[in-house]
Structure 1
Amino acid sequence: MRSAASDQPVRSPAVQLSRSARIALRVAAGCGFAAIYVPLALVLVNSFNSDRSASWPPSGLTLHWWSVAWGSEGARAALWVSVKAGLGATAIALLLGTLIAFAVARHRFFGRDAISFVVVLPIALPGIVTGIALNSAFSTVLEPLGVGLGMFTVVVGHATFCIVVVFNNVVARLRRTSGSYEEAAMDLGANTFRAFADVTFPLVRSALLAGGLLAFALSFDEIVVTTFTAGPGIETLPIWIFNNMTRPQQAPVVNVVAAVLVLLSVLPIYVAQRLSADTATESRI
């Protein structure tokens, strides 16, 4: 809604909170952030703890465990498996999530809302339910064809929920972008592919990148679905951490690997958040 005297939108007045309400809100937010981030900070500090038993407070600080973790063949192999699975799942999610987003946002057809619901559903299901369902499906369909559980099934399993974040990012961007841009390009003589390359893709590029980064982060951290879809010899980094965290001799190395995993997860999520914010700003201009 815009006023008659100005092109500026009419904004509703901000809600004023009492001083006690603001204090209570800040305390509640602080407690929430502390519950989330203090354990992560403790993992990071314990990765430098010179005591093998991770006693608190640390008896000293050292980089020894970081060098031990770097030399761990199991951790490096698991890291490479996680990277391959994440890249594969992200590639599938970008392809299918983008195609579905364009179908839902740019076309009207029977069952469009049902497709949107089915695409988003896997992210809401418990991971163990998805894992059991995929394990049963792979055992029933693929094993008779000679395809057992392995990297392929892990990638497919991760892609089922990675598609959701790509779809949500792209469809939100498309709904904020008028289809008249593509129509204008076609009126000027561009074919479908040229209109997509010159007009549509630049408009959704940041949403695709943000969705891809979030998809990779989700895949990289996944453990429940991986447990049910990975075959013998397939061990991702989260599973390696889970298998070694109860071994006393491996506790310091596990802390280092967990700290690295936290840092690797934060980076794509931070970049995706910045890209999403920039996309939202562009859509308001």
Structure 2
Amino acid sequence: MRSEHGDRAGWGLKTAAWGGLLFMHAPILVIFLYAFNTEESAFSFPLQGFTLQWFGEAWARTDVRDAIWLSVRIASLSTLIAMTLGTLAAAALYRRDFFGKEGITLLFILPIALPGIVTGIALLAAYKMVGVEPGLLTIVIGHATFCIVVVYNNVIARFRRTSSSMIEASMDLGADPFQTFRYVVLPNIATALLAGGMLAFALSFDEIIVTTFTAGTERTLPIWLLNQLSKPRDTPITNVVAMMVMLATMLPILGAYYLTRDTDSVAGSGK
């Protein structure tokens, strides 16, 4: 039933919506505030002052820089693998119906649907079975398993919105498969592919559960943060690094949203 104000939401609904947003994001705002606090104690309130001291101290620490660089490398490699395999899988599955297609689709989506601890244990067992020691390579493979899902979902949704007649016309006019992909297919899926890649990077950058089982002696940034919980004297620096992680994951997600906000069929857009 339509309200007397048309389609506008009432004050009760608006209050509930803003209250829900505040409930979800208040802890993030607390971390942001304490990253600038002058006090070294964990969480003294009210804040005693404003300082940028902890940012300089955090960047001066080699363990922080090493953890950041390792996480960037892992996220970049995982995203590259996910974009390649996810796009190929979407291209192979979007047009043809065959026996077992739904099962294959389920296998692609399963890694992100399973609890992270299950995926981590399964990967660790598989690595031990083939005699591979945990390290950079095993983390990248583990992250790529669930990063493929977001790329696949975005790209296959865009493929379904792409007219097959354009591809057929390109082939009829003498273009080879590579030229058809470069000049027809890629321009149509570019934003969905980029959005999927940005989401994959964000997921990989802050992943900790799967990483814990596959990292061995490597320390990514989320693992570094987890280890810092037992060091209360480093709390200000930990707050600064936590803020950096949140920004590093929020920006790609916002970018992916703006790339796909004008589409209503891209998986995960949630319109």
Q: Residue type of the partner of 1:47?
A: A
Q: Which residue of 1 aligns with 2:234?
A: 250
1:226-261 CA distance string (max 9 Å, x none): 0000011x1111110110123111100000000111
Q: Which ranges in structure 2 are unaligned for 5 or more consecutive residues?
A: 267-271
Change in 2 beyond 3 A, CA 1:218/1:17:
farther
Q: Which ranges in structure 1 are unaligned for 5 or more consecutive residues?
A: 1-14
2:89 to 78, 82, 100: 100
1:154-180 CA distance string (max 9 Å, x none): 000001110000000000000111111
Give 3-state SS (helix, strand or coil) of 2:13's partner.
Answer: helix
The 1-side partners of 2:104 and 2:20 are apart by 35
Q: Which residue of 2 aligns with 1:115?
A: 104
Which piece of structure 1 moves more, 240-249 or 197-206?
A: 240-249
Q: Does 2:211 correspond to 1:226?
A: yes
The 2-side partners of 1:281 and 1:131 are apart by 32
Q: Which residue of 1 aligns with 2:39?
A: 51
Q: Does 2:25 correspond to 1:37?
A: yes
Give 3-state SS (helix, strand or coil) of 2:10's partner.
Answer: helix
Which piece of structure 1 moves more, 42-51 or 243-252?
A: 243-252
What percent identity do the matched residue pairs reach?
50
Q: Which residue of 1 aligns with 2:2?
A: 16
TM-score w.r.t. structure 1 length? 0.88
Higher Rg of the two aligned structures: 1
Q: Which residue of 1 aligns with 2:196?
A: 211
Q: Which residue of 1 aligns with 2:163?
A: 178
The 2-side partners of 1:246 and 1:18 are apart by 56
The 1-side partners of 2:25 and 2:207 are apart by 19
The 1-side partners of 2:40 and 2:200 are apart by 35
Displacement after TM superposition at 1:108 (Å): 2.4
The 2-side partners of 1:120 and 1:224 are apart by 18
Q: Which residue of 2 aligns with 1:197?
A: 182
Q: Which residue of 1 aligns with 2:269?
A: none
Displacement after TM superposition at 1:25 (Å): 1.8
Q: Residue type of the partner of 1:126?
A: P
Structure 1 contact 149–229 (Cα < 8 Å) conserved:
yes
Structure 1 contact 52–251 (Cα < 8 Å) conserved:
yes
TM-score w.r.t. structure 2 length? 0.93
The 1-side partners of 2:265 and 2:80 are apart by 27
Q: Residue type of the partner of 2:191?
A: S
- Kindly report which structure 2 residues correspond to 1:157-176, keeping only aligned pairs within 5 A, or say none: 157-176=142-161
Q: Does 2:268 correspond to 1:268?
A: no
Displacement after TM superposition at 1:109 (Å): 2.1
Displacement after TM superposition at 1:182 (Å): 0.6
Structure 2 contact 158–265 (Cα < 8 Å) conserved:
no
Q: Residue type of the partner of 1:38?
A: A
Structure 1 contact 65–252 (Cα < 8 Å) conserved:
yes
The 1-side partners of 2:87 and 2:265 are apart by 21
The 2-side partners of 1:218 and 1:18 are apart by 43
Structure 2 contact 191–259 (Cα < 8 Å) conserved:
yes
Give 3-state SS (helix, strand or coil) of 1:106's partner.
Answer: coil
Which piece of structure 1 moves more, 234-243 or 106-115?
A: 106-115
Structure 1 contact 207–279 (Cα < 8 Å) conserved:
no
Q: Which residue of 1 aligns with 2:134?
A: 149
Q: Which residue of 2 aligns with 1:10?
A: none
2:64 to 48, 68, 75: 75
